[in-house]
Amino acid sequence: MLVRSFSFRRQSNSTSLYTISFWLLSASNFLFSASFSMMIPELPDYLRQMGGQAYVGLIIALFTLTAGVSRPFSGKITDTVGRVPVMAFGSVVCFICGFLYPYLLTVWGFLTLRLIHGFSTGTKPTATSAYVADVVPANRRGEAMGTLGLFTAMGMSLGPAIGSWLADDFSMNVMFWTSSAFALLSILILLRMPETLADPKPFRFALLKLNKDEIFDKQAIPPFVVLFLQSFGSGVVLTVVPSLSTSLGISNKGLFFTVYTVASLLVRLVFSRSSDRYGRVPVLFVSTVVLAVSMGLLILANSPWWFWLAAIFYGMSWGMNSPTVQAWTADLSDEATRGRAMATMYIALEAGIGIGAVASGWLLNHILNDANGTPGGIDASFALSGVMAVLAVLYLGWYWRKK
């Protein structure tokens, strides 16, 4: 069904960047990211209405748990079966789960589906990053990851706002089914893409058996450490920001995500080649400082103005962080095990988000409201995220001096 028309090495040495395959991949990423992100702002209240207040922190945590667990498997299959089949599998999971949400109306049914839904982001981004590294020149990886990230960020930007609008003006079911439709479109686009792995092999269940050295790529340890510390704040933001939006009188809980992803888009447009010019570590150092500042602004957010300013800074940080850490991982990896290296990097992402979500969910449920009625766990969650970002800055400073 899928025709392999490019060899791995020939694509890596190509001088062309913006090929048809690249644009198809970008369009698929836009639809995929919009699909799973459009429901995020509405899920906490949806779970509360089911009687699952105590499990709000698990909405993100369960999703990232299976995403993280599936990474070593997706990395191995990406390096053996191919990039495109793994990307398609992730989109299929997103399509099925979005369709099933309206029919699982118990707390445990919902949480089980969140667990399964995590396989989508545990597979597609791993193969996507490996695919991009295959088809662009090494000295333009930062630019390529930034451009691809523009489409991902647009999906992340529009998705939450669209989801909240659909839920408010139509119903939660319409929102879920729209999410499913977006995932289906991302699958159809992938069917037109050529495979880039030089010698793909048929899938067999024996590939799901992992050796110790296939679980974690030691070459990706520096990006792993940095991304874990950075992404802790993402788990907090995904869990806590909808509650902060409500306390500030902002009815559309997806607007924060829209503002920060628009800021991320602008940063990617202006600084897409910065890490190619100045190095991965210096750019990550600056972007992580900006991330720490955004957490401080969220603590100060007692009005919408501070809230939107924090969203802008948060978006600026991830506009630099995301493409740079992906390019850094590709730089440090071997060609034959690039999928494993990307999987290792994404394990850090899922672990950070998941632990951040659980920690902030616990803080929301155990720290009393302040005098204004704002849950006390909100400020504590952002403060903890700020500490993690500072630790990442210190690690990057140490690594920079060491190298």
pLDDT digits (tens, 9 = 90+) for 55-108: 777 787 788 788 878 877 887 888 888 888 888 888 899 899 989 998 888 888
Contacts 24+ apart (CB under 8 A), 345-348: 345/129, 345/220, 345/223, 345/224, 345/227, 346/67, 346/68, 346/71, 346/122, 346/125, 346/126, 346/129, 347/68, 347/71, 347/72, 347/216, 347/224, 348/223, 348/224, 348/225, 348/226, 348/227, 348/228, 348/231
Any domain includes 257: yes
Any domain includes 207: no
Tell me the C-alpha distance between 249 and 338, whole Å. 46
Any domain includes 122: yes
Question: Which two tokens mark 201?
Answer: 């092999």
Distance of CA 178 to the CA centre of its chain: 20
Any domain includes 252: yes
Tell me the C-alpha distance between 115 and 122, whole Å. 11
Q: Tens of pLDDT along 242-291?
A: 888 878 888 777 778 778 878 887 887 777 678 778 888 899 999 999 99
Any domain includes 128: yes
Q: Phi and psi dihedrals of 301, rounded to 5?
A: -75, 85
Any domain includes 314: yes
Q: How confident is the model at residue 202 (pLDDT cuts 50, 70, 90)?
A: confident
Any domain includes 42: yes
Length of the chain measured in residues: 403
CATH code of the domain covering residue 363: 1.20.1250.20
Any domain includes 2: no
Q: What b-and-e string marks burial along 315-349, b requiring 16 or more CB atoms within 10 Å of the CB?
A: bbbbbbbbbbbbbbbbbbbeeebbbbbbbbbbbbb
Let me know: does 146 contact 109? Beta carbons within 8 Å: no
Considering its fold, how many domains does the chain have in total? 1
Query: Domain span at residue 376?
Result: 16-198+214-402
